[in-house]
Amino acid sequence: MEFGGYERYKEESREAFAGHFIETLLQDVRFGVRMLRKSPAFTAIAVVTLALGISANAIVFSVLNGLILRPLNVPKAERLYAIQRGKDPAPMQSYPDYVDLRDRSRAFDGVIAYSFSRAGLNTDGKASTAWLYEASGNYFEVLGIQPYIGRFFHGSDEHGPNSSPYLVLSYGYWMSHFQGDRGVVGRRVEVNKHPFTILGVAPPKFRGTELFFTPDFWVPYVNEEQVGGEGDMNGRGVRDPVAGGTVEGRSDYVAGYCRSGLGCGIHDEELSEGG
């Protein structure tokens, strides 16, 4: 008996199996190609079916990526709560109600307000329609977001209606419309034909406070009359975003950072009766 014969036998068997597997695979591929050539209708159906299946999987992954894999990119996102009004499932509040919550609530470290809008943005004579957030002056400060360049607007910039004509660009919009020009800070643009000054650019991964809505820029809420055409900041009526309802005043999404150690859900009734 030759020493080492068993190990050599294993190596030879492994090489033979590998060669046989590759040969069989090539034969299967050639056979499959011949069959597809003979049946073009079946081939077309198979290709379309595969394309639809891949597309469906891509859509499902995109939804999961937005909802689960890539949540809101803000510090301590697990403590950020939408504040509802009583039993209304929509977290919509009037601006005076937001102010009351911001100033009086003991359950939250900070409360912000924001809403979506669309406006015409004119830069160097090039007008286009853009999506934006109208946000409370403390929006970026409460969220703990730092600008990529320049600065954000603050509550100290606000001195009444239309007193804060500033905007902050999203990183994506800055790259696509200003080619990443750092000299954009301080530039004057027009929002619905009203002059605004660009203060800064948001960081690349910050897309706002809604999963499926990424704005092109942010403006202070106090300039809503120039941006959205509504100027009543003092009405307490809350407008239902789906069915209409009362139109006194306007409504905004309101959210807050729950204080550590508190279960903010138990404060719903107290908050809804505030103001």
- Express each pLDDT in 236-250 by its tens digit: 664 433 333 333 445
Label residue 253 by pLDDT band (50, 70, 90).
confident
Whether 207 shows a pLDDT value over 70: the answer reads yes
| Cβ-contact 94, 236 below 8 angstroms | yes
Q: What is the pLDDT of residue 3?
A: 47
Q: What is the pLDDT of residue 59?
A: 58
Quote the pTM value.
0.68
Q: Using a pLDDT cut of 90, give the percent of the chain over it.
A: 30
Cα separation of 212 and 63, whole Å? 9
- Inter-CA distances, 194 with 16, 162, 218, 224, 230, Å: 78, 10, 15, 11, 14
Which parts of the chain fold into alpha helices (H)?
A: 5-38, 40-64, 95-104, 139-143, 171-178, 224-228, 268-272
Q: What is the pLDDT of residue 267?
A: 45
| Cβ-contact 139, 122 below 8 angstroms | no
Whether 147 shows a pLDDT value over 80: the answer reads yes
Grouping H, G, I as helix, E, B as strand and the rest as coil, residue 114 is: strand
Neighbouring C-beta atoms of residue 203, cutoff 10 Å: 14
Q: What is the pLDDT of residues 84-139, one digit of tens each?
A: 766 666 667 788 888 888 888 888 888 899 988 899 999 888 889 999 999 999 99
Closest CA to 96 of 38, 136, 139: 136
Q: Is 9 or 178 the better-scoring residue by pLDDT?
A: 178
Cα separation of 216 and 135, whole Å? 13
Q: Using a pLDDT cut of 70, give the percent of the chain over it.
A: 65
Q: Mean pLDDT across the chain, nearest whole number?
A: 76
Cα separation of 264 and 271, whole Å? 10
Q: What is the pLDDT of residue 12?
A: 54
User: Cα 75 vs. chain centroid, distance in angstroms?
Assistant: 14
- Least confident range from 72-81, 171-180, 182-191, 233-242: namely 233-242
Label residue 270 by pLDDT band (50, 70, 90).
very low
- What is the average per-residue pLDDT within 1-9? 49
Half-sphere exposure of 223 (CA within 13 A, CB side): 28
- Least confident range from 139-148, 205-214, 232-241: namely 232-241
